[in-house]
Structure 1
């Protein structure tokens, strides 16, 4: 089952995307991301990834343990599945604590500074997808 999610894309500057099953199979930018930039984004505390997740980051202390390890993420999930988890993990698990990094509508616990703005850009989502997809066990 596929459908296009407008997500106020025109008003918010977000790009439209289609959810197919448990994935967004098509790149948000129409191009593949850069895995090197994606790794840097995952390790930035501001992206919040490693606050909850651990992974193959031996140089990084104090990795999270609230969420699954990112080690082997590319073996467990397709690029499309990774993309949906980053864009809006609540579509897969309504009670998840993972932020919706590319959704702005219908969110309730958002600080004033972030209202109406995605946490990550489409390009950043694609960079992180490229990196996570490269993590094979």
Structure 2
């Protein structure tokens, strides 16, 4: 009896873990200042993949607006956003995750895109072309890509 109860508990925990997935964009919980304390995936981010997301035009393309010395192998760093050198000395993981998820919760006038938002967009295409998409859109980055970029940004500290 004890063995079957143990197996039942283990099976239930395994099934629950299998069903757990990334936090949906509409379910992200923001703090008072826009921070997101809970991981969007429950899995650690990969800093190497985060660097790739940041410098790849077809993915995050963060360097089109931000300068990042650690990514000098990629051309054309922008100057619209603040330089990200030392960003981990200024912001913790929760703040970085919140800014990536939806920067307007932290900086209301920001031009930075909300990388993990799927609804509530202004769609001026309706007025001009009549072709603005309807309904929810896919997020610009996946939950894991957000966690990967947070992991990479967390490595950007000034040396002592």
Normalising to structure 1: TM-score of the pair? 0.82
Does the 8 Å contact 2:68/2:85 carry over to 1? yes
User: How many residue pairs align between the two structures?
Assistant: 125
Shift of 1:115: 5.3
Instruction: Note the 1:21-100 alignment, pairs <5 A.
Output: 21-22=32-33, 23-46=35-58, 47-56=60-69, 57-100=71-114
After superposing on structure 2, the runs of 4+ consecutive aligned residues of structure 1 that deviate more than 3 Å are 109-115
Where does structure 2 lack aligned partners over 5 or more consecutive residues?
1-23, 126-131
The CA distance in 2 between the partners of 1:114 and 1:42, in whole Å, is 27
Shift of 1:54: 0.6
Larger Rg: 2
Normalising to structure 2: TM-score of the pair? 0.71
The CA distance in 2 between the partners of 1:114 and 1:75, in whole Å, is 39
* Larger strand percent: 1
Does the 8 Å contact 1:15/1:28 carry over to 2? no
Provide, for residues 53-81 of structure 1, a one-character-per-residue CA deviation record: whole Å limited to 9, x for no partner.
Answer: 01122212210000011111111100000
**Pairing 1:19–2:30 present:** yes
The CA distance in 2 between the partners of 1:117 and 1:90, in whole Å, is 18
CA RMSD of aligned residues (A): 2.1
Does the 8 Å contact 2:25/2:118 carry over to 1? no
The CA distance in 2 between the partners of 1:112 and 1:15, in whole Å, is 18
Instruction: Note the 1:2-17 alignment, pairs <5 A.
Output: 13-14=24-25, 16-17=27-28
